[in-house]
A and B are shown apart, each in its own frame.
Chain A
Amino acid sequence: MDCLVCHESTGTYKKFPTGAGHPASEPTVFPDENKTYYPPDWNKVAQSVQRPGRENCGTCHFYGGGGDGVKHGDLDSSMTHPDKHLDVHMGKDGQNFSCTRCHSTSLHHIAGRVYQTPAVKEVKSLIEDDLTSKITCVSCHSKTPHRQNAKANDHTDKVACQSCHIPTFARINPTKMSWDWSTAGRKKDGKPFVDKDEFGKPAYATKKGDMRWEKNVVPSYFWYNGSIEHLTLNDVIDPLKEVWISRPAGSIDDPNALIYPFKVHWGKIPYDKVNKKLVVPHLFPNSKTDTTAYWKVFDWNAAIGYGQEYLGLAYSGEYDFVESLYVFPTTHMVAPKENVVNCTECHIREKGRLAALGQIYLPGRDRSLLFDRIGWLAVLAALAGVCLHGLGRIFVKKNREE
């Protein structure tokens, strides 16, 4: 990490895209963007150091994965100057929190990272949380933040705040939801090309394949104890199923697990057909004479062969594509309370937000079909019985009167 990327405040400190973290040392054109990168005005930049602002954090975290909103659905450039409808904490017309208001630091230990194992072991007070490096909604809002006797307070033991208070993510800017590498390499008139979608985002790129971008995405929900299980390049996969590259850990039996919202990114990525392992293709050409980089020669076999060899990993020479899933915890873009998720978005028979969540009995969603049927049959039988009985009485009474 260099100090300036977090602490400079002029906004002029720019790195050269392929400079491995270095700014340009002299004005240089980056051909892909057709844009000239200038060396920073070091004096100006150095004199501007301050506590990190949203722009500093956002430089990396809004653009992870190579573009705005590619990785996180709840972090993109719309969070630089959000209104309170997008983020009730950070809204400029509201609380106007900076990132560091919650992600407090002590000696550069930044609070609130979830990619630690486990991120949240138990609920702690704000003070404890500030001393350690974990922070959650509960740190400020307590475990019973709703009105007294509100049913919502009964949910906080199993449902994370984020599940109800972030109805959808990517509410202003679209986020990438799928990426199919298997279609990469198509050319137009022998040249790589890019097709844009309705958001102006790449829907197809020769280098990358098909992509789908979405706005206002309803999260997927999983039991989550603060840990995410990651697949490694050494793990054997089952190519007939979707491969979870990362997956939330936890179950209802885990006292630390909560139902938590995630962005699930779908992908189709290369794997070694014989060894049944994911592989690392060599994408970016390292010189003008590179003969294996995928983005130069568009040959998967060559790119994978080089990438695996570079990493010292085996490659059988046969590849195919496998469907993959990757999860991102959703915790930003907390909406104002008026926009909270309604009861019946989960407590509903079909197509609710928690339709796929197992291990619980969810009133309104679940039932015993057998007992329901027996019960209703008894009610209908009674109804039919009394109708017949009543008709019989009317009938015989008429007969007798006649």
Chain B
Amino acid sequence: MAEGKKTQKIYLYTRFERFWHWIQALMIGGLLITGFEIHGTYTLIGFEKAVKIHNYVGLTWLIMFAFFVFWLFTTGEWKQYIPTTKKLISVIQYYVWGIFKGKPHPVKKSADSKHNPLQRLAYLGISAVLLPTQMATGLLFYLYNMMPQGFPLSLLAILHTFIALLLLNFLVIHIYMTTTGHSFFSHITGMITGWEEVYENTQIEEWEMPGKKP
């Protein structure tokens, strides 16, 4: 938006982050597609194949997620997920109103602060609540035969399916939001190359810096 302003490219996403993002996107996509076939929503590749793929991808994700959490805490990147209410309202106002007026985004991106307050909230909810619950229910589902007699499969299945739908809901919004950058593809380009176009003279505010408590 805001035409005519000068832009610069900054290196925002490291190779590991990009790799993790896309591999996770691939796995979530695969799990959603096969998962809803298992759920009986449609027939695509065949139930048996869907179950096999779903199991393999699910277990792979589980293992990789453990490495990701380790990385998150050893590098301090977990701080990117600390929620804040500061500027949260202005970010919401921007997406509801300002974006149509051609106003600039109220929070700038930088290597130290990649997520705006709304993203922090959404990503924290997903990474800390939805994904772990999804993984736990999925693993228990996978190990159902080892569970004690009378263990309620229905509870696991209903929760697992419901969270899958919430993640699909997130995916829709997430993909749409990639088009709201400086240009239509600038966010996606950033996640592919690591370099994202931002406006020149971007000022990173103090509270967005690492080591500062929000």
On A, residues with C-beta under 8 Å from B are 151, 154, 157, 253, 255, 342-344, 347-349, 360-361, 363-368, 371-372, 374-376, 378-379, 381-383, 385-386, 389-390, 392-393, 396-397, 400
- Known contacts A347-B47, A365-B40, A393-B99; is A154 also within 8 Å of B158 by CB? no
- Other than the known A344-B47, A347-B40, what 13 A-B pairs have Cβ atoms closer than 8 Å? A344-B43, A360-B153, A363-B38, A364-B40, A365-B40, A368-B158, A371-B158, A372-B162, A375-B168, A379-B168, A379-B169, A385-B173, A392-B100
CB distance from A391 to the nearest CB of B (A): 11
Which residues in B have their C-beta under 8 angstroms from that of A367?
39-40, 157-158, 161
* Residue contact A364 to B47, C-beta cutoff 8 Å: yes
Which residues in A have their C-beta under 8 angstroms from that of B145?
154, 157
A400 to B99, CA, bound (A): 13
Which residues in A have their C-beta under 8 angstroms from that of B179?
390
Which residues in B have their C-beta under 8 angstroms from that of A348?
40
CB distance from A55 to the nearest CB of B (A): 41
A253 to B52, CA, bound (A): 29
Which of B153, B165, B166 is close to A372, meaning CB atoms less than 8 Å apart?
B165
* Residue contact A374 to B40, C-beta cutoff 8 Å: no
Q: Which residue of the partner chain B has the closest CB to A253? A: B150
On B, residues with C-beta under 8 Å from A are 1, 38-40, 43, 46-48, 51-52, 95, 99-102, 144-145, 149-150, 152-154, 157-158, 161-162, 164-166, 168-169, 172-173, 176, 179-180
Which residues in A have their C-beta under 8 angstroms from that of B165?
371-372, 374-376, 378-379
CB distance from A199 to the nearest CB of B (A): 35
A392 to B179, CA, bound (A): 13
A-B contact pairs, 30 of them (CB 8 A): A253-B149, A253-B150, A342-B47, A342-B48, A343-B47, A344-B43, A347-B38, A347-B40, A361-B152, A364-B39, A364-B40, A367-B39, A367-B40, A367-B157, A368-B154, A371-B158, A371-B161, A371-B165, A372-B165, A375-B161, A378-B169, A386-B172, A389-B95, A390-B176, A393-B100, A396-B100, A396-B101, A396-B102, A397-B1, A400-B102
A364 to B39, CA, bound (A): 4
A151 to B141, CA, bound (A): 13
- Known contacts A343-B48, A364-B38, A367-B158; is A383 also within 8 Å of B172 by CB? yes
Of the candidates A349, A379, A400, the one having the most CB atoms from chain B within 10 angstroms of its own CB is A379
CB distance from A354 to the nearest CB of B (A): 13
Which residues in B have their C-beta under 8 angstroms from that of A368?
154, 158, 161-162
CB distance from B30 to the nearest CB of A (A): 18
CB distance from A350 to the nearest CB of B (A): 9
Which residues in B have their C-beta under 8 angstroms from that of A392?
100
CB distance from A106 to the nearest CB of B (A): 34
Q: Which residue of the partner chain A has the closest CB to B162? A: A371
Which residues in A have their C-beta under 8 angstroms from that of B180?
393
Which residues in B have their C-beta under 8 angstroms from that of A365?
40
A141 to B211, CA, bound (A): 63
A383 to B145, CA, bound (A): 38
A374 to B144, CA, bound (A): 26
A364 to B36, CA, bound (A): 9
* Residue contact A361 to B157, C-beta cutoff 8 Å: yes
Q: Which residue of the partner chain A has the closest CB to B152? A: A361
Q: Which residue of the partner chain A has the closest CB to B96? A: A389
A374 to B165, CA, bound (A): 9
* Residue contact B173 to A363, C-beta cutoff 8 Å: no
Which residues in B have their C-beta under 8 angstroms from that of A375?
161-162, 164-166, 168-169
Which residues in A have their C-beta under 8 angstroms from that of B39?
363-364, 367
A400 to B43, CA, bound (A): 46
Q: Which residue of the partner chain B has the closest CB to A255? A: B149
* Residue contact B172 to A382, C-beta cutoff 8 Å: yes
Which residues in A have their C-beta under 8 angstroms from that of B173?
382, 385-386
* Residue contact A382 to B40, C-beta cutoff 8 Å: no
A379 to B164, CA, bound (A): 10
CB distance from A373 to the nearest CB of B (A): 10
A383 to B166, CA, bound (A): 12
A343 to B48, CA, bound (A): 6
Q: Which residue of the partner chain B has the closest CB to A360? A: B153
A278 to B191, CA, bound (A): 77
Which residues in B have their C-beta under 8 angstroms from that of A376?
165
Q: Which residue of the partner chain A has the closest CB to B172? A: A382
A343 to B47, CA, bound (A): 7
CB distance from A143 to the nearest CB of B (A): 11
